Structure 1
Amino acid sequence: MKYRLLIVSLFASYLCFSQSYVSNMAVIKSELEQTSYSKDSTANALVIYDYGNSFIDKETFWLKVQIKQKVKILKSSGFDRGEIEVTLYKGKSSKERIDNIKGATYNLENGKVVKTELSLNAIFKEENEYSTTVKFVLPNIKVGSIITYSYEKQSRFMNKFQPWYFQGPDPVLYSEYNTSIPGNYDYHVKLVGGIPLEINDAKIERNCLEVGRGGTADCTVSKYVMKNIPAYKPEGFTTTALNYTARIEYELSVYQGFDGTVDKITKTWKDVDQELKADKDFGKQISKKSLIKGVLPEQISSINNKLEKANAIYQFVLTNYNWNGKIERHDVSVKNLIKEKVGSVFEINLLLENLLTNEGFTVYPILVSTRDNALATKIFPVLSEFNYVILKTTIDEKDYYLDATDKYLAFGELPFRTLNQYGRLIDFKDGSYWEDIIIEPFSLRTHRVKLDSFIEDEFTGTIQSKYSGYHSHQQKREYNENPTSYLENKINEFTDIAIENHKVEDFDISKSSFIEEADVTLEPEFIGNKIYLNPFLIKFFEENPFKLQERSYPIDFGYKDIYNYSIQIKIDDDLTVLEIPEPINYILPNKSGSLLFNSELNDESLILYFKVQFNLPIYAPEYYPYLKKFMDKVVEIQNNAVIVLEKQ
């Protein structure tokens, strides 16, 4: 039995639990007396004990999965933990079964432990074409209750051995998974998430299975344990939870029958490359001159400058063909796209590949998995995990990634949905390989405020706003689709300032920038002759987006970005500066980000400058407490900074 286990750390020692909890299914009084979990005061429930055991039954040769769980209910919002659902899949010739459902609720009443068992009347089944859902509801649940349940699932579907989720919406004190896998089943085994295993033991059990005519199989018996697992709580600046939820998954690689037959289930990338080359939905749609004959106008074909020509071809596809929102590699036809003018992402980007290739550019498709679709597995090919295609071309020794589904993307920009770390670059000549999708340029958002007049207790001036990269896309889209609505929203966005005039100074749908300017009027707060002014007429962050006590998954912005803000106030004979905010210079670890807030006062003006910079598109979970503190400072400065002036 061969194991290919990723990201595994081996620990020999056991971690001691609090004396209030025991890591088994027994319920003791001290567990019921507990009212909270110190490591996560927000937890609705606490999984005390989580146990699984998967093995091949020696008599039926079915896969048996035994599940046991013990959960402490900490809040009323955790009552739904007592509503258990188990999905049983149906195949053409077999369907999964469930047996031995047991459950109980334990409460402390008058100092005594009272047990209420699950009734058979509380077990329900819902049938559909492809699965059966079994539901059971545990009785008498209260805040402080402990629930226990167990069941056994039986299955003949061995291609995907039973996965195990160590992590879920609640913190877990102890999670153990045991497996016994016959040697004639060779699985790829993948540990997902960055949480290390406390225990990772494996041994060989000889002759664990016996078949007719003396046939036997040895089994690999494994035990995996994690302890003190934080809850997976969704928060902003991340991709799908499937990327980071701690679990073990299995993919059948090779099955060896007792009769000597060998069935290779999982192929190599070399095999997959050949399949893709012959695929009618992929390889048969790539670099086919016959598909795009006469499509590209002569005025584009005659452009001599390579970059200008590539950009013109890109804009031609954006202008003439619309994306229908579909991303699947299914029924792909570049020919139909040319005829209908509407198509899937595969059709649109493979049309672009054909047009560029026909004009002499070297172009490679890259299969990617979008941000909401989980990261693609790297250790073995799973084509079903890829749901999108982008392109890569190199012009004058510079690489460009291309996607022609969104007319608000400039040449060389990718949709935010595709920024998911890496993809598989398909090269039918030299073989495919993994390509890191790295966005090098910073995306910027800049606001420059000038208050150059103070008359009749009002400031007047201008605000110039510049957006570039990913910060420009929404601005371009909203302005282009409805300029009137865009201005109305801009006016309604501000409560403390009045916009008198507004104009867009730089807007080109094909460029990665958007610049606008507005004339504004501001009536400051007076206390006597003193003016109290928050210099941030525009705020980047109204509140700290990071609120968790602990975060076990990366902070994924997708791209590097910079926020700039400056305000210049003209100081004449009518105004005196009494107080300005203290300067702040704060650096994230390893210079991965910075916060700068400073001021400059001279005889003519007061200038405040504020800059927030994130130098990484993705921050490891270890950065979370630093980012949280960093954003606390950012929000505090924007909300509480005060300039005090005196009217003469």
Structure 2
Amino acid sequence: MRLTILMLTSFLSLQVSAQKDSFKFGKVSKEELQMTECPFYPEANAMILGEKAFLRFEYSDQTGWGYQLTVTRRIKVFNKLEKDIANVSIVVYDPESGGSKEVIAKVKGFTYNLQDGKVVKSKLTNSEEYYTRLSKYRTEKSFAMPDVQNGSVFEYEYLLSSDFISTLRTWHFQHELPTAYSHFDYVLPEYFNYTVSQVGNVIPIEHHEENARESFSYRWTSQGALGQSQSGTSTLESNSRRYNKTARNVPPVENEPFMNNKVDLPSRLEFQLMSVEMPNSTLKVVAGSYEKFNKEIMDWSSFGKTLDKGNFAKDFVATLSGDQDTKAMAIYNWLSNHFSYNNYYGFTSSRAGRQAFNSAEGSVADINLSLVAAYREAGLNAHPVILSTRGSGLPHPVYPNYEDFNYVVAAVETSKGFILTDASTSLSFGTLPTRCLNGRGWMAKEGGGQWVTLKANAQHSFLSYNKLELNEGVLSGKLSIKYGGYYAIDERSKLRSKGSDEYEQDFFSNNFSFDVTSFEVNDESRNLQCFADIEHSLGGSDVLYINPVTIGLVTENPFKREDRMSYIDLPYPQDKKMITTITIPEGYSAELPEPTVVTLPENSGKFMYTATINGNTISIMSSLRLQRTMYAPNEYAYLKSFYQLMADKNNELIVLKKL
């Protein structure tokens, strides 16, 4: 007999002890309204008093298995922020073309204020709710809580229904506001095997779990031997498991120096469906792999199939001669100069090849997939590399998600190995824009892809050479700075966006004590150079204090907090050196700073400072080299002390005393 499920309705019969909530929707106390600060984070302008969610599975004949998530959140406002905290938005997966999606429903909310000792309650209405399509795949449900002011408490609740069960909705215990109480309650039927990971910042989580009996009733039909159709109702039992996880007094996620990928930082629970095993059925492995992911995208007409569309470059390729390095550089320069970039990200394109080339403008995918095709037309070994830009988070290292990637560059093999190129920029061959320097990218290839490091060829240098002379109480001379690699890219970007006059003002704005009598910028080579004539009157005192030119050096410790939860992520290695010579007149003695050498553990960084005098010439050298770009939170204390010692030393003065 063949069994066909026509319709399934479920009801939850959980034989578990109820967990006591720390708050209930609609039950705001006067004590909460009278609060004037967050008890565990007093500087906060607002806080989450409590939030909770309950997730359970369901089934629909139209969409199959899905789940419902009820979310309740209560917020206290101490000082109403310029960015209106009363505006709430919820982004859901909702593709235009149908398929699995998420839906927000049953939104309700209230704002509470204390007026003349009485609690005044304002209700959220439909007129304050908005719906916006953000992209082909995402929509936003937003609403503005009414009558929010200093001292208000507001709360809201909504129901999220989703049939996208391969990755359940991530639950965040940590937000940009401090959170007094965060509770997540979820029930997983025995048929679904999930990997549940606590990721992001490490915070204490209270955990409780127990068995839960669930019963799902469904209607069925069967076809008998004589063709008669029969139907009925049966029950599907599940030995489910219920989990309760609670966090208390959670500090907010805050901006820190050299922070990247803030979206990856909040402490949270992530769910990945590994396999499904229904009753009387075989085990079905669901979790994706990069091997499968690679095969899929290489079969896409908007990705892998575009790479054989290099015919548009045939005539140009026919003019090329020389080795593979010469050809690769020529093709890159040709397309980099040809295309105008429209500032759209993405890693797929329906226009790559002749269509994009003929229009002479396009997205990063239009341009760089065309670049890969042109490389291949010339017989070069080239592949697309997809990645996530800085600030957008890192792709999951094991389970691929198409939405983790928002950019693509072209890798081409040269005599030095694979070089990553991006023709959407005007940068030199082999230099990626800073936005791409984010962990690893996936090189997609026929027959299987691989991870590549995006910072591998990050070249950088900063050299300041200053020649000064003291004469009749006036210190004057020439300043010369050379920026190379990414330092040059960053400075060139500032110069072009601000213009020469504003660039000069900013250049000397950081506690620069000298008067500038002339200033010149040379931007004709890969390096960017700045030259200046400077002078500063020290007066006629018998004791003179000289602050060596410290432009570009670390003179203030960027790390202020006692500890840190997030990684320190530099976009590229740090390599800075300042050499200053000062010629002093006869009749002075000099007190010089002590030489210093400071090294980080495992030789990941080094700072050197020397001060010497030879005859009447003082020489100062300050040098910093950080070879690594990533430092873990447990290395923060070393890095903070390192920067403090460096800043203190760079601020030390030379003392001249008249004999």
Query: Which TM class, normalised by the smaller chain length?
Result: 0.7 to 0.9
Tell whether 2:528 aligns with 1:554: no
Paired residues for 1:590-629 under 5 Å: 590-629=602-641
Tell whether 2:414 aligns with 1:390: no
Q: Is the 8 A contact 2:77 2:149 kept in 1?
A: no
Counterpart secondary structure, 1:348 = helix
Counterpart CA distance in 2 for 1:288 and 1:88 is 36
| Aligned counterpart for 1:346 among listed residues 365, 369, 376 | 365
Tell whether 2:145 aligns with 1:126: no
Counterpart secondary structure, 2:315 = coil
Q: 1:440 to 1:140 in 2, by over 3 A?
A: closer
| Aligned counterpart for 1:308 among listed residues 323, 326, 330 | 326
C-alpha offsets along residues 494-547 of structure 1, whole Å, 9 cap, x if unaligned? 364345555667842xx4x334444x2312322623322211252435644334
Counterpart secondary structure, 1:214 = strand
Q: 1:162 to 1:239 in 2, by over 3 A?
A: same
Paired residues for 1:234-313 under 5 Å: 234-250=255-271, 267-296=288-317, 298=319, 301-304=320-323, 306-313=324-331
Counterpart CA distance in 2 for 1:148 and 1:474 is 44
Paired residues for 1:522-541 under 5 Å: 522-526=535-539, 528-541=541-554
Counterpart CA distance in 1 for 2:607 and 2:22 is 46
C-alpha offsets along residues 159-211 of structure 1, whole Å, 9 cap, x if unaligned? 46333111111223432211113345565655441325524555442334333
Paired residues for 1:394-405 under 5 Å: 394-396=413-415, 398-405=417-424
**Match of 2:121, as an amino acid?**
L
Tell whether 2:433 aligns with 1:415: yes
The Cα of 1:606 is off from its aligned counterpart by: 0.8
CA RMSD of aligned residues (A): 4.1
Counterpart CA distance in 2 for 1:427 and 1:57 is 40
5+ residue gaps, structure 2, are: 1-20, 134-139, 220-232
Equivalent residue for 1:3?
A: none
The Cα of 1:294 is off from its aligned counterpart by: 1.0
**Match of 2:395, as an amino acid?**
A
Equivalent residue for 1:170?
A: 177
Counterpart secondary structure, 2:358 = helix
Counterpart CA distance in 2 for 1:104 and 1:164 is 26
Equivalent residue for 1:216?
A: 236
Q: 1:488 to 1:240 in 2, by over 3 A?
A: closer
Q: 1:48 to 1:314 in 2, by over 3 A?
A: same
C-alpha offsets along residues 384-417 of structure 1, whole Å, 9 cap, x if unaligned? 321111233343353422222222x232221110
The Cα of 1:81 is off from its aligned counterpart by: 5.4
5+ residue gaps, structure 1, are: 1-21
Equivalent residue for 2:339?
A: 321
User: Which shifted more, 530-539 or 612-621?
Assistant: 530-539
Counterpart CA distance in 1 for 2:372 and 2:106 is 51
The Cα of 1:83 is off from its aligned counterpart by: 6.3
Counterpart secondary structure, 1:370 = coil
Q: Is the 8 A contact 1:577 1:646 kept in 2?
A: yes
**Match of 1:67, as an amino acid?**
V
Q: Is the 8 A contact 1:47 1:171 kept in 2?
A: yes
Equivalent residue for 2:480?
A: 464
Q: Is the 8 A contact 2:215 2:237 kept in 1?
A: yes
Q: 1:64 to 1:106 in 2, by over 3 A?
A: farther
Equivalent residue for 1:43?
A: 44
The Cα of 1:471 is off from its aligned counterpart by: 0.2
Counterpart CA distance in 1 for 2:305 and 2:93 is 35
Q: Is the 8 A contact 1:571 1:603 kept in 2?
A: no
Q: Is the 8 A contact 2:475 2:538 kept in 1?
A: no
Equivalent residue for 1:65?
A: 69
Counterpart secondary structure, 1:338 = helix
The Cα of 1:605 is off from its aligned counterpart by: 0.9
Q: Please give the TM-score of this superposition, normalised by the length of structure 2.
A: 0.79
Q: 1:493 to 1:554 in 2, by over 3 A?
A: same
Once the two structures are aligned, what percentage of the paired residues are identical? 22
**Match of 1:448, as an amino acid?**
Y
Q: 1:267 to 1:63 in 2, by over 3 A?
A: closer
Q: 1:45 to 1:564 in 2, by over 3 A?
A: same
Q: Is the 8 A contact 1:47 1:71 kept in 2?
A: yes
**Match of 2:568, as an amino acid?**
I
Q: Is the 8 A contact 1:346 1:389 kept in 2?
A: yes
Q: 1:138 to 1:382 in 2, by over 3 A?
A: same
Q: Is the 8 A contact 1:123 1:136 kept in 2?
A: no
Equivalent residue for 1:444?
A: 461
Counterpart CA distance in 1 for 2:413 and 2:365 is 20
| Aligned counterpart for 2:443 among listed residues 396, 418, 425 | 425
C-alpha offsets along residues 50-90 of structure 1, whole Å, 9 cap, x if unaligned? 32212247999984433344555555659965665667888
Q: Is the 8 A contact 2:581 2:617 kept in 1?
A: yes
Tell whether 2:170 aligns with 1:151: no
The Cα of 1:421 is off from its aligned counterpart by: 0.2
Equivalent residue for 1:15?
A: none
| Aligned counterpart for 2:507 among listed residues 474, 493, 503 | 493
Q: Is the 8 A contact 2:421 2:430 kept in 1?
A: yes
Counterpart secondary structure, 1:279 = coil
Aligned pair count reads 605
